[in-house]
Amino acid sequence: MLLKKSLVVLCCLFSSTAVAERWFEAEVLIFKQRPAPYLQEDFSLKHEAIEDKNTLDLLTPLYTEQAMQACIDGDTRFQKRSFTDSLVNDNPRSGVCDASTDYVQSYDTLPVTPVAPALDTMEQPYLLAPEQLQFKTQFEQLDRKGLTPILHTGWRFEAKSKSRAPSMHLFAGELIKTRVFDVPRYSNPDFVSLLEPQPSLFNDPDESTSKWELEGLFKIHLRHYLFITADFDISQKLQSGDVESSRFSQFKRVISGEIHYFDHPRMGMIVQIRKFKH
């Protein structure tokens, strides 16, 4: 009886360990579609913000670290200088490279392929290095068709249930900025009030709202099969200066090792989920 109980305990331990070590790697290639002149889509619809209580952001720490190092090396794109300082100080190295700067917002356009270090661990999720990505053929096909990739990345992760799996925060492309202008209200139109300090007609040039060309959440969970839930906002600046956003939302059951295609009038996405060490 004791031997039987011991075998049951060992089997349970082995089973739980095997489940805990079911790791995969996901590779994602997102590209912009060609403009369709006769597109019958209504992009004026308003959508709720894309949110999830359980999110994972691997891109921001990487971009921040690389931009901060570039700032230290003298790259003026990432040096924090106010508009006033730029007028009175022409030294490009006068910017302060500290951790309080939002370095990611200093990019005009993000790299298509994030340059992460090559790792081979199974401790916590991490980005794949460029040499670990496998969509070389797909990338070349997009180039021949004249389609523009905006994000090609991948990551390794432990498979989890829908309630436990985090949503990966992905963003890419151009940082689309919309200037904010405040129109002052003059409550006292007499001559004396004209001598008093008045609010500026325009905000500081650094003050603006911005959004990435592509931003959203990408979730993979396991329940017998692998499932992908993808929600992205695709934004573009119109000739009028307004920013128009459309929503990409898809849910799909996938099989590991197969290449899957997701389509939208504004973007396309190629995805493959591969087993890692099992």
Q: Give tens-digit pLDDT for 133-169.
A: 999 999 999 999 999 999 999 999 999 999 999 999 9
Can you tell me the mean pLDDT for 10-36?
74
**Which residue in the block uniquely carries the two structure tokens 């309630």?**
163
Query: Using alpha carbons only, what angle is made at residue 129 by residues 102 and 273, rounded to the nearest 5 degrees?
Result: 105
Query: Which of these, 33, 156, 175, 52, lies nearest to 103 by C-alpha position?
Result: 175
The answer to whether residue 60 scores a pLDDT higher than 50 is yes
| Domain, as residue range, for 172 | 23-36+45-75+98-276
Length of the chain: 278
Residue 90 lies in a domain: no
Q: What is the mean pLDDT of the chain?
A: 83
Give the DSSP letter of residue 166: P
Residue 145 lies in a domain: yes
The answer to whether residue 271 scores a pLDDT higher than 90 is yes
Residue 12 lies in a domain: no
Pair 151, 172: CB distance under 8 Å: yes
The answer to whether residue 198 scores a pLDDT higher than 90 is no
Residue 228 lies in a domain: yes
Residue 5 lies in a domain: no
Distance CA 43, CA 24 (A): 35
Say which residue, 161 or 91, is predicted with more confidence.
161
Count other Cβ atoms within 10 Å, centred on residue 18: 10
Distance CA 231, CA 265 (A): 15
How is residue 52 written in tokens?
Answer: 């999830």
Domain count, the chain: 1
Label each residue of 57-99 as H, E or C: CCHHHHHHHHHHHHHHCCCHHHCECCHHHHHHCCCHHHCECCC
Query: Which of these, 206, 219, 216, 268, lies nearest to 245 by C-alpha position?
Result: 216
CB hemisphere CA count around 181 (13 angstroms): 4
